[in-house]
Amino acid sequence: MSDPAPRKWEHRLRITLWVLIVPPTSWAAHFLFSYLWAAISCAKTGHFATMPWLFIGGTVLALAVIALAGWVAWHQSRTPGDPPPHQESTRIDRLRFLATATLLLAALSTVGVIFTALPVVFLRECT
Amino acid sequence: MRYAILLACLLAAACNTHQSALAPFGVEAGETRTLTLVMALAALGLAAITFALYFRAVRAPEGSLSHKGGMKLVLWMGAIVPTVLLAGLLLYALPAMRPMDSAPGDLEIRVEGEQFWWRVIYNPQDTQGRLVDANEIRIPTGRTVVFTLAAHDVVHSFWIPGLAGKMDMIPGRENRLVVKATKPGRYRGVCAELCGLAHALMAFEVVAMEPVAFDSWLAEQRTGTAAPPKDSRGARLFAREGCGACHAIRGTEHTGQIGPDLTRYAHRRSLGAGTLEPTLTNTAAFIRAPQDLKPGARMPTYTDLSREEALAIARYLKGRE
Ligand SMILES: [Cu+2]
C-alpha cells in the first residue's frame, strides 16, 4: 500500500526535531528582544513610549512564528495512527509524537511570550 | 503542640506597628499588603483545588475515567484554567509596578546614606527653604513627597517598611521614591543593604505629621529657632575639641559636613542613628567612645575628655544649660 501524494504543503512538510524547537526558540528570542528593547529605549529616551510600535511588532512576529509552527504541528498530529503505547518506532508514531510535542510547546510558548510582553503595557518610567 | 506555641511566640515577637510592612501607614505599603494577601489567598485556593483533585484521583476506582475524559481533564485543569488564573493574577499585580505620580510642587526630601547614618535635606533645590537634618525624617500625611536618594561611600538601601518598598542609594546616582503617608505617627526606617560593620545599627525615625503641623514645624525650623547658648562650658569644649570640623550646628560657626548635623539633636529620639536612647549619660558616653556603643561608627574616640566634660557637651547639645 502506498501513500497517496499529500496535497497541501502543511502535510508535505514533515515535522522534525528542528520544527519542534521553533516555538521555544521564538519565545527565547522574544525574551532577549524584550530586555534589549527596554534597555536601549530607556538609555536613549529615558521612558517608555505610550505606543511602542517596535515592541508590538516584535511580539506579533514572535507569536506569528509560534502560531505557524503550531498550525503545521496540529495538522500533522492528526495523521491517522494508533493510540499509545507504541512498542515499535514506526515513522507514523514518530511523526505523531513530534507533532503533538510541537503543538504543546507552541501553546506554552504563546503563553510565555504574552506573559513576557504584558509588563510593558503597564510600564511608564525606566527607574 | 509545644513547637507550635514556640513558633507562634517567635512569630508574634515580630509583631509591631512602627516598623512593619504589615502595618502600613502609606499608600504604597497599603497596596503592597493587599496584593500580598490576595496573592497568598489565591495560592492557598489553588493549592486546595489541586489537592482535592489529587485526592479524588487517588481514591477513584480504576477505569472510572475514560482516556478521552482524562485527556480533557489534563487540558482544562492542567493547562487552560491555570493559565487563565495566573494571567488574571498577573494583570491584577502589574499596576503595582508603576511608580506613584508626582507634580512639580511636591515636597522634595533628599536623603543621603552615609556609613552609618542618614543626612536629610528638605527642599534641596531651594536655597531659602533648604533645611539640613540627620537621622530623622518628617513628612506630612495626605501629600505626595518625593525622596531623592543618594550615597557617597557605598551602596545603602532606604527602607521604611510601613510606607513603601525599599530603594537603593547608589554612589554616583540619584534614585527617586515617591510616597504618600496616610496615618500620622512615629515609625522607623532602616538600611536594607549590608554596608559595613555598623550596618545593623543604621536606622532612622520617621514622623508622619498632619499637614498643618508639618508646615508650621518646617517654617519654624527654617526661620531658625533660638540657637543654643554660644558661651557655655559645653559650647567652649565643643569648639575646643574641634567637633565642628565634622558636625554643623545652625547659628554657630560650626559647619562641618562629615558627620550628622547636630542642630536638632535635642529633639531627636535616638542617638547613633537609631542605636540608643539619647539620654544625657548615653550622649556623654557616645562622645567619649563611639566605638564602644556603636562598633564601626566613623567618629573618633575622645577618651582625653573627662566624663564630666563630655557631660557638659552633652548638656549643650541637648539644650540643657
Ligand atoms: Cu547601610
B149 class by beta-carbon count within 10 Å (0-12 exposed, 13-18 middle, 19+ buried) = buried
State chain B's mean pLDDT as an integer.
89
**One domain for residues B106 and B41:** yes
Query: Is residue B228 one of the residues assigned to a domain?
Result: no
Backbone dihedral angles phi then psi of residue B298, each to the nearest 5 degrees: -90, 45
CB B248 within 8 A of CB B262: yes
Res. A6: pLDDT tops 60: no
Q: Is residue A52 part of a domain?
A: yes
On whether both B188 and B285 belong to a single domain, the answer is: no
- Report how far ligand 1's centroid is from the alpha carbon of B15 (Å): 23
Domain count for chain B, please give it: 2
CB-defined contacts A:B, below 8 A: 27
CA distance A109 to chain B (A): 12
Share of chain B above pLDDT 90, in %: 60
Residue range B6-23: average pLDDT? Answer: 79
pLDDT 10s digits, A110-120: 999 999 998 88
Host domain of residue B30: 1-59+99-223
- Contacts B98 to A, Cβ<8 Å: 122-125
Looking at the structure, do residues B311 and B251 belong to the same domain, yes or no? yes
What are B92-111's pLDDT values in tens digits? 988 887 888 888 889 999 99
Asked if the structure places residue A71 within a domain, the reply is: yes
pLDDT at A1 over 50: no
The Cα A50–Cα A26 span in angstroms is 25
In a domain, A1, yes or no: no
Check whether A4 has a pLDDT greater than 60: no
- pLDDT for the residue A9: 65
Does B281 map to a domain?
A: yes
pLDDT digits (tens, 9 = 90+) for B198-239: 999 999 999 999 999 999 999 888 776 555 566 788 899 999
Q: Which of B119, B205, B189, B123 is nearest to B157 (CA)?
A: B189
- The average pLDDT across B2-27 equals 82
Q: Are B146 and B153 in contact (CB under 8 A)?
A: no
Task: Establish if A3 belongs to a structural domain.
Answer: no
Q: Which residues of A touch B67 (CB under 8 A)?
A: 83
pLDDT for the residue A106: 95
Lowest mean pLDDT across B2-11, B52-61, B259-268 = B2-11
Decide if B80 is inside a domain: no
Our measurement of the distance from residue B115's CA atom to the centroid of its chain's CA atoms, rounded to an integer in Å, reads 15
Say which of A107, A115, A122 has its CB closest to residue B97: A122
Whether the pLDDT of residue B25 is over 60: the answer is: yes
B127 shares its domain with B216: yes
pTM, to two decimals? 0.82
Q: Which of residues 94-123 of A touch B (CB under 8 A)?
A: 107, 111, 114-115, 118-119, 121-123
* Residues B19 and B107 occupy one common structural domain: yes
Instruction: Give the best residue of B81, B97, B102 to mutate against chain A (max A CB count within 10 A).
Output: B97
Is the ipTM beyond the 0.85 threshold?
no
Q: What is the per-residue pLDDT across A26-83, written as a single tens digit (0 to 9) for each?
A: 999 999 999 999 889 888 887 777 788 899 999 999 999 999 999 999 988 888 887 7
- Do residues B219 and B240 share a domain? no
Cβ pair B97:A123 closer than 8 A:
yes
Report yes or no on A47 lying in a domain. yes
- Report how far ligand 1's centroid is from the alpha carbon of B56 (Å): 53
Tell which residue, B262, B277, B275, has the closest CA to residue B316.
B262
Tell me whether residues B79 and A118 touch, CB distance under 8 A: no
Q: Which residues surround ligand 1, an ion (CB under 5 A)?
A: B 156, 191, 195, 199, 202
- Please tell me the predicted confidence (pLDDT) of residue A81: 81
Q: Looking at the structure, do residues B273 and B296 belong to the same domain, yes or no?
A: yes
What is the chain B residue with the closest CA to A48?
Answer: B98
B124-168 tens-digit pLDDT = 988 888 899 999 999 999 999 999 999 999 999 999 999 999 999
Does B206 lie in the same domain as B307? no
Residue B289 counted as domain residue? yes
> Smallest Cβ distance to B94: which of A83, A118, A125?
A118
Distance, in angstroms, between B136 CA and closest chain A CA? 26
Question: B130, B208 in Cβ contact below 8 A?
Answer: no
Residues 50-89 of chain A whose Cβ lies under 8 A from any Cβ of chain B: 83
Specify if A81 maps to a domain: yes
Where residue B47 sits, what CATH number does that domain have?
Answer: 2.60.40.420
User: B154 CA to middle of ligand 1, Å?
Assistant: 8
Residue B199 within a domain: yes
Mean pLDDT of all residues in B304-311 = 92
How does residue A2 score in pLDDT terms, banded at 50, 70 and 90?
very low
Residue B155 identity (one-letter amino acid) = V
For ligand 1, the distance from its centroid to the CA atom of residue B160, given in whole angstroms, is 13
Q: Are both B252 and B285 inside the same structural domain?
A: yes
Q: Are residues B112 and B175 in the same domain?
A: yes
The pLDDT score that the predictor gives to residue A82 is 78
Range of the domain at A20: 16-122
Asked if the Cβ–Cβ distance from B94 to A124 is below 8 Å, we say: no
Residue ending a domain, among B193, B223, B253, is B223
Question: Are residues B150 and B292 located together in one domain of the fold?
Answer: no
Q: Judge whether B110 and B176 are in contact, CB under 8 Å.
A: no
**Contact yes or no for A127 and B67 at CB 8 A:** no
Q: Are residues B148 and B168 in the same domain?
A: yes
Inter-chain touch B67–A83, beta carbons under 8 Å:
yes
Is A122's CB within 8 Å of B175's CB? no
Between the CA of B170 and the centroid of ligand 1 the distance, in Å, is 11
Say what the pLDDT of residue B140 is.
96
Q: Is residue B128 part of a domain?
A: yes
- For residue B133, count CB atoms less than 10 angstroms from its CB and return exposed for 0-12, middle for 13-18, buried for 19 or more: buried
Which of B15 and B290 is assigned the larger pLDDT?
A: B290
Of B67, B91, B175, the CB nearest to A127: B175
- Considering only CB atoms, B83 lies closest to which of A83, A111, A119, namely A111
Residue B244 lies in a domain: yes
Residue B92 lies in a domain: no
